[in-house]
């Protein structure tokens, strides 16, 4: 008798040995196949028979949809952020943000509202830049393990963006290669250019809110609960991060209304910090070439800020300083733990 190792023609899974009657049922897709490989006829679909995905993992329900929690992505000032997966046949990976202090529920709601508004825009570049902002999926409440309801928001997971600049600085305690800081800064200024042109300021451009895609040299901006429109919401930022005081312009603490310049100063301070420098003064280690170090110091300085509110102008200056420091742009791979 000829023995064949069969693979399921439906899904490619290896088959067990056939039963004495020569029939095999695929354990994965339930196709029914004769030992010779034919005929094949699929079993009727029966979703209720689907084994649950990772049954040991916790589940939460937001706005009527159940999600399986896969792990923690981060811990913010006011919330816990998880990677999750919609618990269904046609699934999707998502980011679930759950507020810690019940009194911060309004921050999760405000962030969701701002992001929805930004995704509705048709400002020039919207199609490209809105992909670099969290994409709202749903919001509602989740019950924590002791039964307390907490405000939550669900965003689409963007693969590859899992390290913030806080994580980057942990991986490079003495600061990143200045050539890597150049692409991080330029990408950040491009997103800010779009946000400002759309009439918003982010209000919290801080290391934990800048996520990087190390392989593609991409940057995504999260943490939108402090964002405001700068033609309407004059006044203070709705919230600030006490643990990042040195990243805010001092004017913010004096009660001066924020504007696009606030974001640009915070972006420069964030880049100075990821280079191993001091966010308050913009000074950087001596390994940073002088044209770049000088520009950083100038753009971290708020009094008077040289390029008020113009992210694109700032980006051109970064370009020029980078050319003076390193010559024409060149792709230099950037690595982080878990990436090659
Ligand atoms: N969309 C996302 N994709 C991947 N990771 C994320 C995302 N949003 C947040 N994170 C991770 O979770 C961490 C905490 O998120 P975030 O800073 O937004 O929380 P928060 O400080 O509580 O919120 P907020 O600043 O808006 O009040 C981030 O530093 C980042 O590591």
Position in ligand 1 atom list of the atom nearest CA 104: 27
CA neighbor of 186 nearest in space, from 296, 50, 318: 318
Of all protein residues, whose CA lies closest to atom 1 belonging to ligand 1?
A: 134
**Structure pTM?**
0.85
Portion of the chain with pLDDT greater than 90, in percent: 66
Of all protein residues, whose CA lies closest to atom 30 belonging to ligand 1?
A: 74
CA–centroid distance, residue 78 to ligand 1 (Å): 9
pLDDT exceeds cutoff 60 at 43 = no
Residues of CATH 2.20.28 domain(s) within the chain? 1-50
CATH topology of domain 163-326: Transferase(Phosphotransferase); domain 1 (1.10.510)
pLDDT exceeds cutoff 80 at 244 = yes
Taking the C-alpha atoms of residue 43 and residue 34, their distance in angstroms, rounded to an integer, is: 14
For 166-193, what is the mean pLDDT? 97
Of all protein residues, whose CA lies closest to atom 24 belonging to ligand 1?
A: 223
Read off the tokens for 77.
């000032």
Contact of 48 with 28, CB cutoff 8 Å: no
Q: Backbone phi, then psi, for 104, in 5-degree steps?
A: -95, 10
pLDDT of residue 230: 82
CA–centroid distance, residue 289 to ligand 1 (Å): 32
pLDDT of residue 40: 56
CA–centroid distance, residue 219 to ligand 1 (Å): 14
Residues of CATH 3.30.200.20 domain(s) within the chain? 59-156
Of all protein residues, whose CA lies closest to atom 29 belonging to ligand 1?
A: 208
Of the pLDDT bands very low, low, confident and very high (cuts 50, 70, 90), residue 151 is very high
CB atoms within 10 A of CB 325: 17
pLDDT of residue 4: 59
Contact of 82 with 71, CB cutoff 8 Å: yes
Of all protein residues, whose CA lies closest to atom 11 belonging to ligand 1?
A: 74
Position in ligand 1 atom list of the atom nearest CA 78: 22
CA–centroid distance, residue 4 to ligand 1 (Å): 53
Q: Report residues whose beta carbon is within 6 angstroms of any ligand 1 atom.
A: 73-74, 76-79, 81, 95, 107, 111, 134, 155, 161-162, 164, 204, 208-209, 211, 222-225
Residue to mutate, 71, 81, 111, 212, ligand 1, most ligand atoms under 8 Å from C-beta: 81
Of the pLDDT bands very low, low, confident and very high (cuts 50, 70, 90), residue 306 is low
CA–centroid distance, residue 50 to ligand 1 (Å): 33
Mean pLDDT of the chain: 88
Burial (Cβ within 10 Å: 0-12, 13-18, ≥19) of residue 294: middle
ipTM of the complex: 0.96
Of the pLDDT bands very low, low, confident and very high (cuts 50, 70, 90), residue 317 is very high
CATH superfamily of 59-156: Phosphorylase Kinase; domain 1 (3.30.200.20)
Strand order in the sheet with 65-75: 59-62, 65-75, 79-86, 93-99, 149-156, 136-143
Contact of 33 with 27, CB cutoff 8 Å: no
Residue to mutate, 76, 95, 168, 213, ligand 1, most ligand atoms under 8 Å from C-beta: 76
CATH number for the domain formed by residue range(s) 1-50: 2.20.28
CA–centroid distance, residue 209 to ligand 1 (Å): 6
pLDDT exceeds cutoff 70 at 3 = no
For 46-61, what is the mean pLDDT? 76
Taking the C-alpha atoms of residue 247 and residue 268, their distance in angstroms, rounded to an integer, is: 9
CA neighbor of 118 nearest in space, from 106, 131, 109, 108: 131
For 150-159, what is the mean pLDDT? 96
pLDDT exceeds cutoff 70 at 340 = no
Taking the C-alpha atoms of residue 281 and residue 56, their distance in angstroms, rounded to an integer, is: 50
Does residue 143 have a known ligand-binding role? Answer: no
List pLDDT tens digits, range 228-239: 998 765 678 889
Cα angle: 46, vertex 47, 51; to 5 degrees: 110
pLDDT exceeds cutoff 90 at 269 = yes
Read off the tokens for 67.
């999600």
List pLDDT tens digits, range 9-36: 666 667 777 677 777 777 766 677 776 6
Read off the tokens for 310.
């113009």
List pLDDT tens digits, range 79-115: 999 999 999 877 899 999 999 988 899 999 999 999 9
Q: Which of 57-71, 139-153, 326-340 has the lowest mean pLDDT?
A: 326-340
Of the pLDDT bands very low, low, confident and very high (cuts 50, 70, 90), residue 268 is very high
CA–centroid distance, residue 202 to ligand 1 (Å): 14
Mapped onto helix, strand or coil, the DSSP state of residue 143 is strand
Residues of CATH 1.10.510.10 domain(s) within the chain? 163-326
Which secondary-structure segment (H or E) carries 170?
helix 165-171
CA atoms in the 13 A half-sphere facing the CB of 213: 16
CB atoms within 10 A of CB 185: 30
For 252-277, what is the mean pLDDT? 94
Of all protein residues, whose CA lies closest to atom 8 belonging to ligand 1?
A: 222
Q: Which residues contact 301 (CB under 8 A, 6 or more apart)?
A: 265, 282
CA–centroid distance, residue 73 to ligand 1 (Å): 8
């Amino acid at each position: 008798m000829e023995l064949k190792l069969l693979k399921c023609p439906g899904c490619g899974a290896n088959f067990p040995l056939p039963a004495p009657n020569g029939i095999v049922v695929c354990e994965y897709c339930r196709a029914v196949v004769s030992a010779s490989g034919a005929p094949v006829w699929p079993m009727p679909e029966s979703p209720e028979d689907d084994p649950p995905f990772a049954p040991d993992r916790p589940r939460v329900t937001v706005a009527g949809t159940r999600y399986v929690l896969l792990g923690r992505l981060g811990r913010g000032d006011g919330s816990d952020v998880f990677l999750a997966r919609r618990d269904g046949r046609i699934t999707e990976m998502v980011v679930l943000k759950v507020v810690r202090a019940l009194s911060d529920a309004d921050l999760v709601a405000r962030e969701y509202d701002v992001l929805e508004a930004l995704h509705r825009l048709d400002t020039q570049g919207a199609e490209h830049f809105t992909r670099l902002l969290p994409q709202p999926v749903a919001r509602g409440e989740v019950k924590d393990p002791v039964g307390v309801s907490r405000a939550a928001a669900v965003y689409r997971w963007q693969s590859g963006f899992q390290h913030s600049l806080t994580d980057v600085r942990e991986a490079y305690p003495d600061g990143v290669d200045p050539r890597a800081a150049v692409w991080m800064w330029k990408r950040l200024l491009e997103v800010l250019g779009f946000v400002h042109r759309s009439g918003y300021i982010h209000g919290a451009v801080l290391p934990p809110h800048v996520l990087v895609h190390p392989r593609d040299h991409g940057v995504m901006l999260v943490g939108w609960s402090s964002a405001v429109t700068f033609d309407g919401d004059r006044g203070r930022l709705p919230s600030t991060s006490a643990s990042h005081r040195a990243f805010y312009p001092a004017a913010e603490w004096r009660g001066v209304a924020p504007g696009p310049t606030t974001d640009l100063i915070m972006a420069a301070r964030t880049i100075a910090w990821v280079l191993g420098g001091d966010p308050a003064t913009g000074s950087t280690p001596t390994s940073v070439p002088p044209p770049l170090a000088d520009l950083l110091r100038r753009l971290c300085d708020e009094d008077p800020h040289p390029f008020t509110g113009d992210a694109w102008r700032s980006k051109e200056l970064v370009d020029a300083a980078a050319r003076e420091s390193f010559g024409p742009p060149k792709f230099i791979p950037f690595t982080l733990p878990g990436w090659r």
